[in-house]
Structure 1
Amino acid sequence: MKHDVIVIGGSYAGMAAALQLLRARRSVLVVDAGRRRNRAATHSHGFLGYDGADPAEIVRTARAQLDAYATLRWHDGEAVVASGEKDAFAVALADGSVHHARRLLLAMGVSDTLPDIPGLQDRWGRSVFHCPYCHGYELQRGAIGVIATGPMSIHQAQMLPEWGRVTFFLDGRLELDAAAADDLANRGVRVESATIASIEGHADVVLADGRRLAFAGLFTAPRNAPSSPIAEQLGCALAETPFGTQVATGDSRESSVPGVYACGDVARAPHSVSLAVGDGAWAGAQVHRSLILPAI
């Protein structure tokens, strides 16, 4: 069977895109590897209508709504190889099956590379975050630590005094020029130059000199990259951003490869559930337009 569209990635952006296509009565195969980026978080904030909801419940609700459409096929598994050209794409799955489609939509999200600090990864999404709009309010104006990864971390440290008392840990990864140091001082940000030994407890920063500083939450700016090599297999151009690497797209969310589209975290920054859903809805509509108005 040849589908109109294969969506690779069944999280927020992928499901939002699929919904637009299903409502246009198009045949859609969603391939989902089950590695939702916010799977470690117990609450999702800032998404209208679901503020404070369990992310897993948001996904279950969305999936049940998609299942009501007769032209949906859903595969729980991983897409490992994609090839072909516009109107004639093939996607091979980990189970050995091969599926064909006129269009591909990449919504597989990104992987996060965190600073190599013992205990940090274990707390990612629970007491270590990247988005203040998603998690800052719940810290109740408490003490907040920002762990530097690069220049983008300065932006985090500048913003987070809106949500609490901020200590900025340079951790040997960043040097501040005089202008940045003055700006942070004017915002009341304390700069700590000692190296971090580990993260312990809820969000305690243990320094190499033996000091232990407790925080309501920690923020850091991970480096992002597509969570699958499929975009590169297809020859899609990639773009470097302050957040990392993403699939380069135009306003229609079409990549550099005709017929291959991308949306959500893998194709835009910054990242949040709300932005992923909106981007997916737009991409789904643009993919449909390409099927019925090929010259556009």
Structure 2
Amino acid sequence: MQYDVIVIGGSYSGMAAALQLLRARRQVLVIDAGQRRNRYASHSHGFLSQDGVDPAEIAERAHAQLSRYQTLAWHDGTASRVEGSRDAFGVALADGRCAEGRRVLFATGVSDMLPEIDGLAERCGKSVFHCPYCHGYELDRGRIGVIAAGPSSLHQALLLPEWGEVTLLTNGVLELDGEARRQLGARGVGIEEETVARLEGGADIRLTGGRLLPFAGLFTAPRNRPATPLAESLGCELEETPFGSQIKTDAAKETSVSGAFACGDVARVPHSVSLAVGDGAWAGAQIHRSLVF
């Protein structure tokens, strides 16, 4: 059969888009690889009515709600290729099958390009974070370290003092001029210019000179890129943001390829669960409109 819409990515934005389409009684296929970006976090915050809930529970509950709609098809797996054009897209699945759809939605999320520091990657979502609105409050105004990953780390360090005593670790990747130092001083942010050797314990930093700096939590501002090259391979344009690259979309969430849409972290900044859900809901409604008009 030909689906009305094939949604590639079954996390928060993809499911929010699918919900609008299912409620319009459209035939929807969701392809989900099961790799939520926040899968290592134990709690999600800042999402109204879901504050403090395990993000896996939010995703499971959403999946169960979608499953009540008879026009939903769900595939646990990955897409390996997207071809075709408006009203005639073909999505190759990793298991060798091919699905056809009139519209395609990329809700694939992003990959984080983290600083290459021993012990950092395995602490992401546990004691290393990127969004203060999602995780800052739980640090209970303890000491916060910001590990510089690029120019945006200055903005991150300036934003964080509401949540605790902040130290910016330039780590050899961030040059601070006089104005930057003045701004940091005005916000009470400390500066540590010795490079980071590794992370220890929960959120402690061992410097190359041997000193150990204890923190309640750490933040870094990784650059992002689409988690898969599927949209780019189809011909969708990318655009640069202060956080990395994303799929370029118009106000209706349509990409540069007619009939192909994108939403969530892969198509907007900044990133959070609540913003991804809102973006997905809008994308779903706009895709429905494109099927009608």
TM range (shorter): over 0.9
User: Structure 1 CA distance, aligned partners of 2:229 and 2:80?
Assistant: 8
Q: Secondary structure at the match of 2:210?
A: coil
Computed over aligned residues only, the root mean square deviation of the Cα atoms, in angstroms, reads: 0.4
Q: Tell me which amino acid in the other structure corresponds to 2:124.
A: W
- TM-score normalised to structure 2 length: 1.00
Q: Tell me which amino acid in the other structure corresponds to 1:41.
A: A
- Paired residues for 1:58-97 under 5 Å: 58-97=58-97
Q: Secondary structure at the match of 1:279?
A: helix
Deviations 1:235-271 (A, max 9, x none): 0000000100100000000000000000000000000
Gaps of 5+ in 2: none
Deviations 1:80-139 (A, max 9, x none): 100000000000000000000000000000001100000000100000000000000000
Aligned to 1:15: 15
The structure 1 segments of at least 4 consecutive aligned residues displaced by more than 2 Å after TM superposition are none
- Paired residues for 1:177-188 under 5 Å: 177-188=177-188
Aligned to 1:240: 240
Q: Secondary structure at the match of 1:102?
A: strand
User: Structure 2 CA distance, aligned partners of 1:228 and 1:284?
Assistant: 21
User: Structure 2 CA distance, aligned partners of 1:103 and 1:167?
Assistant: 47
Q: Does 1:28 align with 2:28?
A: yes
Aligned to 2:164: 164
1:73, CA displacement in angstroms?
0.1
User: Structure 2 CA distance, aligned partners of 1:32 and 1:161?
Assistant: 38
- TM-score normalised to structure 1 length: 0.99
Aligned to 2:195: 195
User: Structure 1 CA distance, aligned partners of 2:140 and 2:219?
Assistant: 15
User: Structure 1 CA distance, aligned partners of 2:234 and 2:167?
Assistant: 43
Aligned to 1:278: 278
Deviations 1:7-41 (A, max 9, x none): 00000000000000000000000000111000000
Aligned to 2:110: 110
Q: Tell me which amino acid in the other structure corresponds to 1:56.
A: A
1:78, CA displacement in angstroms?
0.3
Gaps of 5+ in 1: none
1:177, CA displacement in angstroms?
1.2
Q: Secondary structure at the match of 1:179?
A: helix
Q: Secondary structure at the match of 2:253?
A: coil
Deviations 1:187-206 (A, max 9, x none): 10000000000001000000
Q: Tell me which amino acid in the other structure corresponds to 2:139.
A: L
Q: Secondary structure at the match of 2:133?
A: helix
User: Structure 1 CA distance, aligned partners of 2:256 and 2:13?
Assistant: 20
Q: Does 1:6 align with 2:6?
A: yes
Aligned to 2:130: 130
Aligned to 1:119: 119
User: Structure 2 CA distance, aligned partners of 1:200 and 1:3?
Assistant: 50
Aligned length: 293
Q: Secondary structure at the match of 2:179?
A: helix
Q: Secondary structure at the match of 1:101?
A: strand
User: Structure 2 CA distance, aligned partners of 1:212 and 1:188?
Assistant: 21
Q: Tell me which amino acid in the other structure corresponds to 1:69.
A: Y
